[in-house]
Amino acid sequence: MEFGYDETTTELAGRLSAFMDECVYPAEAAFEHQAAESGWSAPPLLDDLKDEARRRGLWNLFLPGDHGGAGLSNLQYAPLAEIMGRSPAIAPAATNCAAPDTGNMEVLAQFGTEWQRKEYLEPLLRGEIRSAFAMTEPDVASSDATNIATSIARDGEEYVINGRKWFITGAMNPNCKIFIVMGVTDPDAASHRRQSQILVPRDTPGLTVKRGMTVFGYNDSDHGGHAEVIFEDVRVPADHLIGEQGGGFAIAQARLGPGRIHHCMRLIGMAERAVEMMCKRALGRTTFGKPIAQQGVVQDWIAESRVKIEQLRLLVLKTAWLMDTVGNQGAHAEIQSIKIATPIAVEWILDKAIQVHGAGGVSQDFPLAALWAGARSLRFADGPDEVHKRSLAYRELKKHMSQ
Amino acid sequence: MEFGYDETTTELAGRLSAFMDECVYPAEAAFEHQAAESGWSAPPLLDDLKDEARRRGLWNLFLPGDHGGAGLSNLQYAPLAEIMGRSPAIAPAATNCAAPDTGNMEVLAQFGTEWQRKEYLEPLLRGEIRSAFAMTEPDVASSDATNIATSIARDGEEYVINGRKWFITGAMNPNCKIFIVMGVTDPDAASHRRQSQILVPRDTPGLTVKRGMTVFGYNDSDHGGHAEVIFEDVRVPADHLIGEQGGGFAIAQARLGPGRIHHCMRLIGMAERAVEMMCKRALGRTTFGKPIAQQGVVQDWIAESRVKIEQLRLLVLKTAWLMDTVGNQGAHAEIQSIKIATPIAVEWILDKAIQVHGAGGVSQDFPLAALWAGARSLRFADGPDEVHKRSLAYRELKKHMSQ
Amino acid sequence: MEFGYDETTTELAGRLSAFMDECVYPAEAAFEHQAAESGWSAPPLLDDLKDEARRRGLWNLFLPGDHGGAGLSNLQYAPLAEIMGRSPAIAPAATNCAAPDTGNMEVLAQFGTEWQRKEYLEPLLRGEIRSAFAMTEPDVASSDATNIATSIARDGEEYVINGRKWFITGAMNPNCKIFIVMGVTDPDAASHRRQSQILVPRDTPGLTVKRGMTVFGYNDSDHGGHAEVIFEDVRVPADHLIGEQGGGFAIAQARLGPGRIHHCMRLIGMAERAVEMMCKRALGRTTFGKPIAQQGVVQDWIAESRVKIEQLRLLVLKTAWLMDTVGNQGAHAEIQSIKIATPIAVEWILDKAIQVHGAGGVSQDFPLAALWAGARSLRFADGPDEVHKRSLAYRELKKHMSQ
Amino acid sequence: MEFGYDETTTELAGRLSAFMDECVYPAEAAFEHQAAESGWSAPPLLDDLKDEARRRGLWNLFLPGDHGGAGLSNLQYAPLAEIMGRSPAIAPAATNCAAPDTGNMEVLAQFGTEWQRKEYLEPLLRGEIRSAFAMTEPDVASSDATNIATSIARDGEEYVINGRKWFITGAMNPNCKIFIVMGVTDPDAASHRRQSQILVPRDTPGLTVKRGMTVFGYNDSDHGGHAEVIFEDVRVPADHLIGEQGGGFAIAQARLGPGRIHHCMRLIGMAERAVEMMCKRALGRTTFGKPIAQQGVVQDWIAESRVKIEQLRLLVLKTAWLMDTVGNQGAHAEIQSIKIATPIAVEWILDKAIQVHGAGGVSQDFPLAALWAGARSLRFADGPDEVHKRSLAYRELKKHMSQ
């Protein structure tokens, strides 16, 4: 048992932190300003940051294996995701490590055909296009994958897709060129063999990106929003299917583990940033004759935040280590645990940081409220916490069933 | 001790509920749609609803005394504010009972000169214009009124105002014609005699409504947003001062009590609506083969919500009764208590209702996230909860100091 | 709607408070000392206090109607129960208002035959004997009354009782002369018509008071402990049955409402005492150069305690008012609500008072830890909170089922 | 970074678990029975268990270095402490790893003279005698060491001790032969150089072990209770001083780190046991027609418990690793963090386990209530959580002070 980061991680973390200090934080104000003017497209300055990140060797750090990324393990990448999470609107995108592209690239790298990889993985790895993952549906509780209703029906050499998806992150961005769509190909198969995933180019007839959903008033236009997307008799060639027919659930599971690690570590990065902001504000603001920092309740928040963060980080890192050593399946309970523990704790920390900032804290003048909305929405992304707790409880109960 | 509403209240509550059912709820979707298109002005359909409310005798219900309102006591009005809170974007405005006009009208009725009442109170009572209350400042912790920095300096027959205010609710609405501005007239007086309040017409040179602040991602354009307002050498005649010079703090205190009752009762109305929505959604949505309503955790949320609401409502009603019987001063501890207790509890209830609605709950498709943002921001409106708790604790400690 | 106590209540509350100040609080130390030496019997000084209470007309205040008690309504008695709760080991017993005698007397007054009332109600009303209510069983979840397993079988002119009960409060006291036992007389009847209640004198052969159960280490010997009681072929004449055969569940329900009011108001009295102790300690104790009372976190606890107490009290009083005006059935949701809300909140307050007292707070030198144990155990007395929450949720959901 | 235990730890954990399964758990019922009869002495069966532990090489595992213990690092011992915590009344005592002897032995090993080690350390290491650490005082807030009032005055070749201590764990046990007493030798020195620690044999004239303090209702007689101890002109030879005069604070700091690791890991062991008991009970108990294990709220508790435990354990282990690699001082923030995080979380888990057990859960029939009382009292052992949070907050704030 050893709690220090390895050399590769330490070196990359240092380099990434320098990039944050020198390029990312200084660009935040301008980024926000551009975002307000660039519609659903990414703010133009992002391209410069991407060039710079590429130059500094901070590109595709997320991608394991030898598909052209950094080939880091989950445990090595996790601390980097935390650092990126300190400026979550910019840093992941600038380093080509932003969701949902990351998951989509992993899926294509692992399950895609050569053609699929050439056509879609390569431009994604180069950061030329963006992509979306279309899974969640408005009419059913998507936490139960067997509820998915979108149909992907084989018709000769094509598949025909019909259905309605929403909260499809990134899809409002016109540069989001490719959708990975999850739907039912085999309605009569066993429940986990019904779904498949298929590639649908943005300009395919019948695909309508209808509107952007808001998250506590935010449309998140800087990273392509969260779209409602309608599929009406959308036809794609059969070679657009990813992996085998009926394998959609397994592919979804495969992307889930790393995705959780990334999300949770970025949340921890946000939490660290929030603690910093909370401390600075508390030191700089005076009420009733003394700095807020001297108020016991504020001190209590700061200490609780530190204690929460230290615990969360270790749990996420251990989960990453388990994924690296015993695989997603062996890390299943931990993957659920970090999903249960992280968003709610980080939400709490952000709430306290907001409270220390007063009215400004809920406004556009600080990033805290927007970060909060992101953390809050992760309490049901990939299924509400309650579903994961129930599942974790069953696992715990099972240990004692035969006793 | 008696816990039933009196006849007047019961009758008005019935009439108001009918108005809600017949006119307000059915207009919600169109209101939101119009709001998205009407910039910072109120959605046009509001005028029809105002006419209808006036016709039904549901107009200026908030105004005590004989200034042309309903002349209800705080205890009588409180249950009506709750009902309005069920559709907080529409019902208060439709009945001319919306903040900050209500507080401004109270102030003018109680402290205004005949000229001030004729010029500003009357059109406000008729619902022709809107108004704003400019108190909060970005550069100081406004919870401590002695921090207020805006200067209101006497210069011959005029006052000259300089300062910067923000989160001035309603001020983005071009029909917000009059501002009541709080500032320092007597910097050397005792701390509670330094401030005055003064009327500043919107079109006075030097007054700039600079931008709308967002609350989480909402700009609240339907009720005139929350503006940053700059005062640069703004000159108004001396007769624009409300009450006596140095009396600003006392006037602010006077408006506070009723304002808290209104806010808290509307929050309770929101909470009731949230519980309704939570129940309906839980009954109508199925996961893993059974309605969400059968999940123990959801039941727990519903029960907790009910228990919280019942307690809050009684505390707010008792506070209203105290204000009616022993005055604001005698109800001081209770006025603080409802401010501490209500927003946080209603925020909790809204959070659970959102969770039951899944991703839709954070979006524009349900009012829950926007209501949540409103409840959250009340945790520091009029000073953060923490300040009020400290003050309440001192009061409690004082009881035991000589013992 | 009116929030003041009536004259009768105010007068009695004044008289009772004087009794507390003059007789009860001054006796607390000696009471505890005697309790440690008097085994399972009541400390001897209690008899003097009972004489004094009788003299002052503070006797049987709990008993409604004209059975020789004070004839107060629930709403009138509730504030008196709160005052008694400030010294819960002494005041209720000294005024003959202690559970479970109160419930037993109510049952005998309402359902008892003339013989039963003469034989048992009268000496109880005179405070000569104590009694117990034997309902809870170790082997089943007693929150579900249909689980009760103790058998009460008719055999000619007798009933034969077999079963095992525990947590039978007061039963270790040798002066506890009579047990009201709940058991199954009609196993094949509808679930709510299976049980009956029957009087069993302490010295009946086959009745064994086996041992005292502890509650967080306390044996509560001063009020007769909480006994495990075994019934083995215990025979009593048929006229010992209370009310009609099969009516046990209804009788149990009847006692429940007032019992909850008493428990909850006493808890509120404990909470008030805890806040007093917390304030005094915080004012008198210095760490790191300033009184604990100046620490923000302690102030936060004090304020939160005040806000919680005010809400709880109003809810319990409203429940009492409902019971008086629309009956137990009409007050059902509120009776559940106070059971859910009160113990957990008072437990929280006591925990904070303990924390302010440091190590002493958990010891015998302050009453706080013992009060805490009492509050904690009320979280499952009469069924765990979770059962009540579920039931309350169903009631709430039902309102929306047909919609 | 690596999250697996090393070989030594794994081997010892296996051996210790076997000892628990084969000897400790089976002895629990008899232990409790004997404890009720053996006054303040340890239950006799403990001696057999100690022999067995010694035979199995499970003896003095806690002691680092080469003083005759196992020589394990903190990180190696921590998982063993967790296993012992599963039966905290027996396992630590049976393996000679019980507080406060562990801390006292560490102090003597590190700071004792040869004579002190021979006279006291050796019989302690052999498990022949017990010891106490007399620090906490009733009259001052001991969390602030500068408050300590007990005087240790040099008088020729002796020191004279006067003062009053309480909550001196183990001191009621007549076999507790030696006290390490903390007091003031140099009242005029700098605040951290005022105190010294001195050895006082139990039978020294003037030392009175006055009474056992209770923790909630428990006197903890099986491990020697928590005594109030009076020192009146107690004289010991000058060679009884430990380390140098004025070094008492530094010695106290040195023992603190390992003590926290032990406490926290044992608490985690208790939590694991509680989860086991909660699961088994939930599976075995039926209400309203289905096992409690199927109730959503209970599942929520189980899942939350698991998530909390996993996080806590990692944080404690990391702290142990830091102590091993960078020393107590370098691990200071983490040592405070585990003190803040662990007792409150484990208290929560125990509370839920109790609730699942119903009334039995608070009684002597299950260990849960007693474990709860232990966890609760750790919320102010070594200073209340609030003091540690404040200190942790200052550390956090300091990072941003110059910025």
**Angstroms from C300 CA to nearest CA on chain A:** 7
Q: Which of C245, C265, C300 is the last residue of a domain?
A: C245
Chains that touch D (3 or more CB pairs under 8 A): A, B, C
Asked, for residue B169, whether it belongs to a domain, the answer is yes
Q: Which of A105, A125, A145 is the last residue of a domain?
A: A125
Q: What is the helix, strand, coil percentage profile of chain D, to 5? A: 55, 15, 30
Same-domain pairing of A39 and A160:
no
**CA–CA distance from A364 to each of A6, A154, A376, C62, C186 (Å)?**
38, 48, 17, 59, 69
Structure tokens that stand for B230 in this block: 């700059």
Asked, for residue A2, whether it belongs to a domain, the answer is no
Looking at chain D, how many residues does it have? 403
pLDDT band with cut points at 50, 70 and 90 for residue B280: very high
Same-domain pairing of C120 and C134:
no
Q: Tell me which of A8, A307, A316, A317 to substitute to probe the interface with D (most D C-beta atoms closer than 10 Å).
A: A307
Q: Which of A286, A358, A380 sits opposite B359 (nearest CB)?
A: A380
User: If you average pLDDT over residues B79-100, what whole number do you get?
Assistant: 98
Under a CB-based contact definition with an 8 Å cutoff, are residues C61 and C15 in contact? no
- Taking only the tens place, the pLDDT of each residue in C111-141 is 999 999 999 999 999 999 999 999 999 988 7
**Angstroms from D134 CA to nearest CA on chain A:** 30
Size of interface A-D (CB pairs under 8 A): 144
User: If you average pLDDT over residues B225-241, what whole number do you get?
Assistant: 98
Asked, for residue A58, whether it belongs to a domain, the answer is yes
Indicate whether B145 pLDDT > 80.
Answer: no
Neighbouring-strand partners of residue B158: B155, B237
Asked, for residue B212, whether it belongs to a domain, the answer is yes
- Of chain D, the end-to-end C-alpha distance in Å amounts to 31
Q: What is the DSSP letter of B106?
A: H
**Angstroms from B149 CA to nearest CA on chain D:** 26
pLDDT at site B144: 74
**CA–CA distance from D29 to each of B240, D33, D43, D45 (Å)?**
83, 6, 12, 11
- CA gap C28, A258 in Å, rounded: 63
* Other beta carbons within 10 Å of B29: 9
By the 10 Å C-beta count (0-12 exposed, 13-18 middle, 19+ buried), D190 is classed as: exposed
**Angstroms from A216 CA to nearest CA on chain B:** 5
Same-domain pairing of C237 and C253:
no
- Residues 6 or more apart whose CB falls under 8 angstroms from that of B341 comprise B311, B312, B315, C307, C311
Asked, for residue B2, whether it belongs to a domain, the answer is no
**The domain spanning residue D204 has which CATH number?**
2.40.110.10
Interface touch A143/B355, C-beta < 8 Å: no
Same-domain pairing of D90 and D121:
yes
Same-domain pairing of D227 and D143:
yes
Print the domain residue range for B61: 7-125
Asked, for residue B160, whether it belongs to a domain, the answer is yes
Chains that touch C (3 or more CB pairs under 8 A): A, B, D
Structure tokens that stand for D344 in this block: 């409150």
Same-domain pairing of A88 and A184:
no
User: If you average pLDDT over residues D317-323, what whole number do you get?
Assistant: 98
> Which chain C residues contact residue D143 at CB under 8 A?
287, 358
Residue of D204, D157, D161 whose CA lies nearest to D183 = D161
Same-domain pairing of D120 and D234:
no
Q: Which of A1, A400, A403 sits opposite D3 (nearest CB)?
A: A1
Interface touch B380/A387, C-beta < 8 Å: no
Amino acid at D189: A
Indicate whether B170 pLDDT > 80.
Answer: yes
Interface touch B300/D295, C-beta < 8 Å: no
Indicate whether D381 pLDDT > 90.
Answer: no
- CA gap C354, C372 in Å, rounded: 9
pLDDT at site B330: 94
Q: What is the helix, strand, coil percentage profile of chain A, to 5? A: 55, 15, 30
- Taking only the tens place, the pLDDT of each residue in C53-68 is 999 999 999 999 888 7
Q: Which residue has the tokens 């900050």?
A: B100
pTM over 0.90: yes
**CA–CA distance from B127 to each of B78, B199, D175 (Å)?**
21, 18, 86
Same-domain pairing of D359 and D229:
no
**The domain spanning residue B74 has which CATH number?**
1.10.540.10
**Angstroms from C230 CA to nearest CA on chain B:** 35
Mean of the per-residue pLDDT values of chain D:
95
pLDDT band with cut points at 50, 70 and 90 for residue B289: confident
Q: How many domains does chain B have?
A: 3
**Angstroms from D314 CA to nearest CA on chain C:** 27
- Taking only the tens place, the pLDDT of each residue in D8-59 is 999 999 999 999 999 999 999 999 999 999 999 999 999 999 999 999 999 9
Under a CB-based contact definition with an 8 Å cutoff, are residues C224 and C176 in contact? yes
- CA gap A145, A137 in Å, rounded: 10
- Residues 6 or more apart whose CB falls under 8 angstroms from that of B219 comprise A217, B172, B212, B225, B226
* Other beta carbons within 10 Å of C328: 17
Neighbouring-strand partners of residue B217: none
Residue D45: half-sphere exposure toward Cβ, Cα within 13 Å: 19
Same-domain pairing of D231 and D364:
no
Q: Which residues of chain A have pLDDT under 50?
A: none
Cα C176 off chain centre by: 16
pLDDT at site D288: 79
pLDDT at site A70: 84
- CA gap C36, C43 in Å, rounded: 9
* Strand residue runs (E) in C192-341: 195-201, 207-213, 226-237, 241-242, 286-287, 290-291
Indicate whether B382 pLDDT > 90.
Answer: no
Nearest CA in chain A to D74: A1
Asked, for residue A363, whether it belongs to a domain, the answer is yes
Q: Tell me which of C12, C396, C402 to substitute to probe the interface with B (most B C-beta atoms closer than 10 Å).
A: C396
Q: Which of C98, C125, C152 is the last residue of a domain?
A: C125
- Taking only the tens place, the pLDDT of each residue in B6-31 is 999 999 999 999 999 999 999 999 99
> Which chain A residues contact residue C298 at CB under 8 A?
296
Same-domain pairing of B207 and B256:
no
Same-domain pairing of B92 and B165:
no
Residue of D263, D376, D373 whose CA lies nearest to C355 = D376
Q: What is the DSSP letter of D148?
A: -
Same-domain pairing of C20 and C58:
yes
Asked, for residue D353, whether it belongs to a domain, the answer is yes
* Greatest extent of chain D over all pairs of C-alpha atoms, in Å: 78
User: If you average pLDDT over residues C370-393, what whole number do you get?
Assistant: 92
**The domain spanning residue D297 has which CATH number?**
1.20.140.10
User: If you average pLDDT over residues D311-335, what whole number do you get?
Assistant: 96
Size of interface B-D (CB pairs under 8 A): 14
Pairing of strands D176-184, D130-134: parallel
> Which chain C residues contact residue B394 at CB under 8 A?
299
Structure tokens that stand for B308 in this block: 């919280």
pLDDT at site B377: 94
> Which chain D residues contact residue C166 at CB under 8 A?
359
- CA gap D142, D256 in Å, rounded: 14
Interface touch A300/C296, C-beta < 8 Å: yes
Nearest CA in chain C to B318: C3
